[in-house]
Amino acid sequence: MAMKLKTKLSFGLTFLFLVILGFGIMAIVYINRLSNDSKMVLKNNYESLVYCNNMLKALEDIGKPSSKAMLEENLHKQEGNITEPGEMEATHKLRKDYSELLANPNDPSNYYEIRQSLQLITDLNQQAILHKNEVATKTAEDANLWLTIVFVLLTLITFTFVINFPEVISTPVRLLNEGISAIANKDYRKRIYLKQEDEFGELANAFNSMAEKLDEYEHSNLAQIKFEKSRIETIINQMRDAIIGLDGKKNILFLNEVAQGLLGLKETDIIGKYAADIALKNDLMRSLLQERETKELKIYADNKESYFTKDVLDVTNNETIIGQVIVLRNITPFHELNEAKTNFIATVSHELKTPISSIKMSAQLLTDPRVGNLNPEQGELIKSITDDSDRLLKITGELLNISQVETGNIQLKLQATEPEKMIEQAILTVQFQAQQKGISISKNIEHALPTVQADAEKTSWVLINFLTNAIKYSANSSVVEVSAYRKENNIVFAVTDNGKGIDEKYLPKIFDRYFKVPGTLERNGTGLGLSISKEFIEAQHGHIWASSKLGEGSRFEFTLPIESH
């Protein structure tokens, strides 16, 4: 049966405890034996020698009462301290001789007998002391011998235990540490072989099973991962936008070919390097790393001045940002189209204005009686020609206004204007478009609004743009609301729809030039309508903004200052 690690530890510690306990008990036993032998020598034999010595002193001067008392006292003590063989007989003879001395003090033979008895007692105790000393010495020698033998044996056993037992723990721990380090370095072929059948052995078996599963997983997915990586790299390199990947520490992960061309750097030269270090020597990289700038970047590319917009996309994992992707979108074609469109609009509007004015003048001349009288039908036709000429002149005027915005030369005709009239004009313009989708336009205008200082045509154009977008992105048979109310020294105009709404992350860019919300159905627009609206309103000292939530519709608003009196 395999011994568990806990059992081994308990056995080892119990063994050490028993070694210490056994050695201690043996030492205590021998020390007590030596102590008892020493006490016996002092208590019995040494005291008898003292008593005999005192009696000899008293015998020298036996005629004195104090000497007799001393001899009697020590004799009595000796009679109570008989410990050795023959000592009792010698003591009894001493008592007999002392009694005869007291009975016949002048008999000298009694002195000799007493001295003989004292000498015998002294000799017996001295011999006992020598014997007990030999016994104590022998005990000490035995104790020294056995304790030395036991100490040597226990030292050898304990040394062997100390040398070998830690290997039971340290070797598996070392092997497991090596195995974990190998797995951390993705060396899934690493295995741990232990002959132990304890918890470490079970842990090694579990580790080997884990490594085997990881190895299988690595090899089963490696080809697919490599294929996906190559596919993604191919897609990124085929994109016309410049793409730069950064990790969570702002180190360069990848550049596609367009980004390499714009930066003038090769991916292999800067991969893994800190982007801020690259920016020290690269102006474009420095501009890209600035905080979330959305303004256009003018970059010399494709042998001409090109325009790009920057998007910074956060890469997250469990709501933690682990990297970023910087995308530079090439909007040069939109710039070129816009410039061509602006030039076309300005040219056509200017060229059309003269013939349309001539048509209008000719129609007015036909109504002059001096030219000739007109029947009713002819009068209606002349009136229709005049109305259409006025409408065409107005349209060409609006087109010229748009070209002014796009060239930065906005010409305003600021005058006191009633908010409700501008709203009515805008609704009338989009009414046919709304009717086609069954959309009703409701008005919510605060009563008795003061006039605003505004360019009526350009403000109506903004409202028309808002309404056109609201109708375009609203469901059939829905409602679009136009509202106006006073707020401090401004009038707030708002257009609200119940369409699909706009993701909040796109709202900060909604008024940027060329920006189109991803996923919208609008494919042919240039993304300039809201940008022009912003320039119109801000040129009139107003403020424009939008609010929206997905699935809840959108609300576009702007303010214009109240006319000061």
Please report the beta strands in 318-463, taking only residues with DSSP state E, as ranges in sequence order.
320-330, 415-417, 440-445, 452-454
The residue behind tokens 């405890």 is 17
CA distance readout (Å), 414 to 34, 455, 457, 494, 562: 126, 5, 10, 21, 12
Three state DSSP letters for 103-171? HCCCCCHHHHHHHHHHHHHHHHHHHHHHHHHHHHHHHHHHHHHHHHHHHHHHHHHHHHHHHHHHHHHHH
Average pLDDT by stretches of 10, the chain with 565 residues? 60 71 72 65 72 81 78 81 82 80 73 80 82 77 78 78 68 74 75 69 75 71 64 71 81 80 79 80 77 66 75 78 80 73 65 72 74 77 77 65 61 87 91 90 92 90 91 91 93 93 87 75 61 87 92 93 81
Instruction: Yes or no: say if 262 and 305 are a contact pair by the CB < 8 Å rule.
Output: no
> What's residue 36's pLDDT?
67
Q: Which residues contact 37 (CB under 8 A, 6 or more apart)?
A: 132, 135, 136, 139
Say how far apart CA 253 and CA 535 lie, in whole Å. 39
Determine the Cα angle at 26 with ends 20 and 32, to 5°.
Answer: 130
Token pair for 431: 């009414």
Side by side, the strands of the sheet bearing 440-445 are 440-445, 479-487, 490-496, 553-561, 543-549
Side by side, the strands of the sheet bearing 297-301 are 252-255, 242-247, 320-330, 304-317, 297-301
Token pair for 304: 């001409």
Say how far apart CA 413 and CA 435 lie, in whole Å. 32
Strand 479-487 with 440-445, pairing: parallel
As a 3-state breakdown, the chain gives helix, strand, coil percent values, each rounded to 5, of: 60, 15, 25
> What's residue 406's pLDDT?
59
> What's residue 1's pLDDT?
46
Q: Which residues contact 148 (CB under 8 A, 6 or more apart)?
A: none
Say how far apart CA 133 and CA 205 lie, in whole Å. 67
The residue behind tokens 């609704």 is 427
> What's residue 443's pLDDT?
92
For residue 561, give the 3-state DSSP assignment.
strand
Say how far apart CA 389 and CA 357 lie, in whole Å. 7
For residue 452, give the 3-state DSSP assignment.
strand
Question: Which numeric CATH code is attached to 239-330?
Answer: 3.30.450.20
Work out the angle between the directed axes of helices 419-436 and 456-472 (0-180°, nearest 10).
30
Token pair for 28: 């205590």
Give 415-561's CATH code, choosing from 3.40.50.2000, 3.40.50.2300, 3.30.565.10, 3.20.20.30. Answer: 3.30.565.10
Q: Is the dihedral of CA 170, 175, 178, 184 positive or negative?
A: negative
> What's residue 280's pLDDT?
81
Nearest to 86 by CA among 112, 121, 116: 121
